[in-house]
Every structure is written in structure tokens, then in C-alpha cells.
Amino acid sequence: MNFLEKLDARRSIRHFDRAYTISDENIIEILNHAANAPSSNNAQPWKVVVIKNKKLLVELQKLSFNQEQVGQASAVFLILGDKRDYDTNRLIQSSIKYNLIQESEINNKKQRINTYYSLHPEDKESVGLRFDVGLFSMNLMHVLRAFGYDSVPMRGVNFAEILKVLKLPEEWEPILLLPVGKAVTTGHSHKRESAEKFTTII
């Protein structure tokens, strides 16, 4: 299967092998690859909580309108975002840490970031957070398939109660629940509009 065929073959899987386990080392490796996703000013505002505990998965299923894939999954990835990661000083320090800029470039970098956010203030609020975390999440779904796993992105869950159960910081904004595991069904085939219908070429 070539790269494009692999991408096109992704399905939302809702039935997993309950007995299959994913190692912590495998999860970290997967997330390290997924974290190569782009984000505004390289903020990388995503946070990921991976739930493998079977009792907690049962509780999460109850808070997900009893959707079976949550309880069947080898792991459920709760993907969140933190708007504090868009802080200009934090972005500058991150650029210095990874040798992306020199000390002499700090003021210029700060000015460019502030100018950008003055043009697009929404990009450091929930709108931008969902966009950046969405890019990460799609990347994660493809990485999971490269490792032999499948997943299904979910929003139809009681995020407020899930945050309470997991005792997570209130600053973390839940974006997506992603049950992950070994598929026992193929999922539904894609039905998509042709690009000619939604594309304008000028």
C-alpha cells in the first residue's frame, strides 16, 4: 500500500479487541511522532492524558453516552489544549531553548509574534487552540495507523465530568476523546464529495 492509499484507507473504528494492550513505551513513541504537527508560532499547546486503566475506561464509557468503543479501547487519548502556551515570553524562551533564535534576535522575534497576534487575536484563544490541537490530533491518528492501531475521534462526551474524574487542571481545555486499539471491524467506507465540488482555482 503506498502512502496515499494508506491515508485514504483511514476509517473511524468503533469496535476494538478488548484484550489487546499497548505499552507505555509504544504510546510515548507514537506521541513523539505526532508532536511534529505544526502549530501557531510553534506553541505546541496540546496536552495528552492517556487512560489505560480498565476501571477508568468503564467510567469514561458511562460519561460518553455508553459508546462501546470507549470501554473496548486499549487506551483512550484525551486531547486537550492550554492557551497559556501562547504567552509571548514563553514562546521566546522556547525558541532560545531549542536554538531557533539567538539573543540578538529576541526583540525582533517578540515584535513579530505580537504583530501576528494583533492581526489574529483569536489565534491565542479557543479558536486557535482548537485549530492547533486539531492539526496535532489528525497527525496522531495517522501515526497510530502507521503503528498498526486504529482510532475514532469523539466529541459527544461529557467533558466537564471527565475532567473532574481525572482531576485535571481547569486551564486545560478538552478538545477530543480518541479511543485507540486493534480494530475488530473494518469501519464504514468513506463517502466524500469530489474536490471539483468544493474547489475554486483562480
H helices of the chain, in order, are 3-8, 24-34, 54-62, 68-72, 88-97, 106-119, 126-146, 159-166, 195-198
128 domain-assigned: no
Is residue 112 in some structural domain? no
Which CATH number goes with the domain that contains 155?
A: 3.40.109.10
Indicate whether 106 belongs to any domain.
Answer: no
Closest CA to 80 of 192, 201, 168, 158: 168
Domain presence at residue 120? no
Domain encompassing residue 148? 10-82+133-187
What's the confidence (pLDDT) of residue 75?
A: 98
| Residue 149 in domain | yes
> In whole angstroms, what is the distance from residue 15 CA to residue 188 CA?
12
Does residue 47 lie within any of the structural domains? yes
- The pLDDT of residue 1 is 67
Let me know if residue 115 belongs to a domain.
Answer: no
Burial call 35-64: b when 16+ CB within 10 Å, e when fewer:
eebebbbebbbbbbebbbeeeebebbbebb
> Is 119 contained in some domain?
no
Report whether 123 contacts 85 (CB < 8 A): no
Per-residue pLDDT in tens (0 to 9) along the chain, 202 residues: 699 998 999 999 999 999 999 999 999 999 999 999 999 999 999 999 999 999 999 999 999 999 999 999 999 999 999 999 999 999 999 999 999 999 999 999 999 999 999 999 999 999 999 999 999 999 999 999 999 999 999 999 999 999 999 999 999 999 999 999 999 998 888 889 999 999 999 9
pLDDT of residue 188: 85
SS3 of residue 73 by DSSP: coil
